[in-house]
Every structure is written in C-alpha cells, then in structure tokens.
C-alpha cells in the first residue's frame, strides 16, 4: 500500500493560500519526498506524517521554488531525533547546491548522502533503489537540467504450491522464499523463483513539473496509478508564454496522461496569477477524463491490484 500526499500545488513563490509544489510518498512507514520549496516543512507539519522517517528527497531541479526549504527541513528532521543517513537525489550540482544552502544547517545529527544523477537529454531514465522505493529519473526540458521521477513498488508473484513441489523445495524453506529471500539447506540454494509465480503489477506513481512535453515522457509514466503533473496555466491562450518559460498548460499534461494510459492525473504547480485552477479543469478533462485539480495536502492510498 502506497500513500501519496501532494504537499503543495503552487509554482514560483509560496502564497498564504497555496504552498509550493512537493510530493510525499509513504510506503511501509518510510517517507520519500520530491522537491522542497520554502514553507514545505509547514505543510508537512499540517499533514502530520512526521519527519523522522524521511529517508530521501528527490529534486527535479534547483530553482528556488523547488529547493529553498531544504536547510530548514533538514534541521527540523534533525530535531525529530533522526540519526540515520538521509539521501538527496538530483541533477548534477546536487552536492554543491546542498552544501551551499546548508551553510546555515551545519550541525545535523545525521549524515547526508548525495546522489547526483547524470543529465543527458534524450538518454533513457536513470534508476536507483532506496529500500522499497524503485526510483527512475528521466531528463526533461526546462531552462536548467530537470528530471521527471517515477516510483515503483514491486510485488512478487503469488506463491505456487505446485511449482514448489515440482522443484522439490522443502516446506521449511517456503516461508522465507515467499519473503523473497534465498534459502540454503543442506548445501543447496533455493531461490524465490522456485516457488513464486510471475511478478505481479507494481504500484507506480509519477511526478513531472517544470518542463515542456518531451519524447519518452508518456512512456516513462506509462501505467502509473497516479500521475502528478504541472499545469502552470489552465487557459489555452497562455500556451505561448508558458512554453517560452519551459512549462506546460493543463491540456498538455492531460495529453501525456492519456498517451501514458495512467489511471489518474493530478494537476499542480499553478501560477500565482491563476487564483482558481478549477475554472480550467474541463479543458483537461476533455483530453483525459480522470484529471483532477491538485489541492494542498490532497492524499491518495494506492493498493496493489487484485490479480
């Protein structure tokens, strides 16, 4: 079961009525965040999922509205009693930017690990695994290097008694094999594949802000249970200026959701000038019916499919 919370839905600057766009994912009690602008720790407190289990923050890019909240959040996570390392993932420069911002957060009670993902436009997604979080990052097209992220939570195949018997797996190994461990008995190694059917459909959530539509993006988000995507403006007339700043409008996000065959689209990263994004949701729905306007602290619980 995955819990997803959209911590904020604004772009450019935090507003009294709208925090900056950020996503929090919770799986088996562990937390991973995407982006952390000024004020993200405030909406995080309102959400109430705690700070201590935050294992990683993935950054799309280094514009201030996506990262200025980093030092404050790290200090607050430190005050929560965390001592395990925390990982920061982002484009090249992640280390320099994090160290610069942390000039005012130098005495943290945990280590900060830095993962800088190489950025090459048109290259296939980069992948890394942090606990149960299988993370993929796709280079997209903004004014500075920027990634879209996809998170998969894998699910092993169903236990197959017949297969276990066929492979002569002793029953005392079954339980651990089912938990995806390899078991050695009497000098013989038994692997999970010997008792399990084919892997079942993973849970998938994808997140994309601050880009023009790029080739490969629909494929990258393919089959997502939840796709969170920017719609800086809802008005189609704003396309030219939105494109000039390397952003997307509602209809473009909806077109990616449709092409990717996702289950649900949440729009986010609204311009401060767009006071009521609901006014434009019909334009998105016309392209992809299951589109919703994101709200601060909107949450979803996503279960594995019945199969």
Among 2, 6, 12, 206, binds its own copies (CB under 8 A): 12
What angle, 0 to 180 degrees and rounded to 10, lies between the N-to-C axes of helices 70-79 and 40-47? 40
Task: Report the site for its own copies in 182-201 (rule: CB under 8 A).
Answer: none
- The binding track of 97-136 with respect to its own copies, each residue x by CB under 8 A or -, is x--xx-xxx-------------------------------
Contacting its own copies (CB under 8 A), which of 30, 42, 202, 222?
42
Q: Is 68 in the site for its own copies (CB under 8 A)?
A: yes
Residue with smaller CB distance to its own copies, 108 or 283: 108
Which residue carries 């609204």 as its tokens?
A: 270
Out of 8, 11, 69, 231, the residue judged to bind its own copies by CB under 8 A: 69
- Asked whether 232 and 9 are in contact (CB, 8 A), the reply is no
d(CA 147, CA 121): 10
72 binds its own copies (CB under 8 A): yes
Q: CA nearest 131: which of 155, 156, 149, 153?
A: 153
76 vs 291 by CB, closer to its own copies: 76
Nearer to its own copies, 60 or 291 (CB): 60
66's tokens: 């996506």
| Residue 164: burial class (beta carbons within 10 Å; 0-12, 13-18, 19+) | buried
Tell how far CA 242 is from the center of its chain. Answer: 24
User: Between the CA atoms of 285, 231, 245 and 207, what dihedral angle is there, to the nearest 10 degrees?
Assistant: -120
- Based on the residue annotation, tell me whether 65 is a catalytic residue of this protein: yes
Query: Which residues are at the interface with its own copies (CB under 8 A)?
Result: 12-16, 37-39, 41-43, 45-46, 62-65, 67-69, 71-72, 75-76, 79, 96-97, 100-101, 103-105
């Amino acid at each position: 079961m995955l819990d997803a919370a959209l911590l904020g839905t604004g772009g450019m600057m935090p507003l009294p009525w709208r925090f900056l766009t950020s996503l929090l994912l919770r799986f088996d009690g562990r937390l991973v965040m995407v982006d952390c602008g000024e004020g993200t720790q405030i909406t995080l407190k309102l959400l109430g999922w705690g700070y201590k289990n935050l294992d990683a923050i993935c950054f799309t890019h280094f514009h201030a509205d996506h990262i200025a909240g980093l030092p404050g959040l790290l200090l607050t996570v430190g005050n929560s009693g965390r001592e395990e390392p925390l990982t920061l993932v982002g484009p090249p420069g992640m280390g320099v930017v994090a160290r610069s911002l942390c000039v005012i957060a130098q005495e943290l009670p945990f280590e900060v690990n830095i993962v800088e993902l190489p950025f090459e436009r048109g290259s296939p997604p980069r992948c890394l695994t942090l606990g149960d979080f299988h993370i993929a990052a796709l280079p997209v097209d903004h004014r500075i290097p920027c990634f879209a992220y996809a998170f998969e939570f894998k699910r092993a195949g169903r236990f197959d008694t017949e297969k276990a018997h066929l492979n002569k797996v002793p029953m005392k190994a079954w339980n651990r094999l089912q938990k995806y461990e390899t078991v050695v008995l009497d000098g013989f190694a038994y692997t999970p594949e010997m008792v399990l059917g084919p892997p079942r459909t993973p849970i998938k959530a994808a997140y994309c802000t601050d880009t023009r539509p790029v080739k490969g993006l629909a494929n990258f988000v393919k089959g997502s249970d939840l796709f969170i995507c920017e719609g800086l403006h809802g008005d189609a007339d704003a396309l030219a200026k939105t494109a000039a700043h390397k952003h997307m409008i509602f209809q473009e996000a909806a077109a990616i959701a449709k092409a990717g065959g996702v289950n649900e689209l949440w729009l986010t990263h609204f311009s401060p000038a767009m006071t009521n994004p609901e006014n434009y949701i019909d334009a998105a729905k016309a392209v992809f019916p299951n589109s919703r306007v994101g709200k601060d602290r909107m949450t979803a619980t996503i279960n594995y499919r019945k199969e």
